[in-house]
Amino acid sequence: MIIIARKVEVVPFCEQWATMFAKEAEKLKQVFGKECLRIDHIGSTAIPEMSAKPIIDILLEVHHIDHVDQYHKAMAELGYQAMGENGIPQRRFFQKGGDERTHHVHVFPAGSEHIVRHIALKEYMIAHPEEAKTYNRLKISLAKQFPNDIQAYIKGKEAFVRETEKKALAWYRQKQRR
């Protein structure tokens, strides 16, 4: 088995990420039509002033996850590669750009806890800029430390993300009750 190392590139926040998301969201709405319930910009490129790998992460909520497989051809026409669940049950994952990825699409069924997790983390980071700055510093440090080892970079963020996610979910649920 050949493992191809992906370069870890973390770049400063780019105002155009929001525009890139909006343009892609319109294309995805055309593909998924009425199956699509919502489309959100998630991940670090959705957080103002956050450095990030320059890949737009998009969350798509659909009525029925099993129906998503019928959209593979239309997604391929947009340049996406279908990756199946890619490690998360009840998800469909698509990536665009091959080794020079530009977009990831994470598709979840209505009511998935993963939807809440992603939205909560994004909103929490926006509402808590000091946490976002800490995460930003960690990502930059890890990218310098592991410039050619994406797995080590991801593993290095793991504990911080897991702990922050717990805080974000508690904060988000309390916010929802108000």
Residue among 34, 24, 16 at smallest CA distance from 58: 24
- Mean pLDDT score of the chain, rounded to an integer? 95
Which of 88, 98, 140 has its CA nearest to residue 118? 88
Q: Where are the alpha helices (DSSP H) in 12-149?
A: 16-32, 72-77, 113-127, 129-145
Do 138 and 160 contact (CB within 8 A), yes or no? yes
For residue 178, the model assigns a pLDDT of 80
Among residues of the chain, what percentage have pLDDT more than 90? Answer: 92
pTM, whole model, 2 decimals? 0.93
pLDDT band at 96 (very low <50, low <70, confident <90, very high): very high
Q: In what order do the strands lie in the sheet with 80-82?
A: 36-42, 56-62, 103-109, 92-96, 80-82
Q: How many residues does the chain have?
A: 178
pLDDT of res. 5: 60
CATH of domain 16-177: 3.30.460.10
Please state, in angstroms and rounded to a whole number, the distance separating the CA atoms of residues 136 and 146. 15
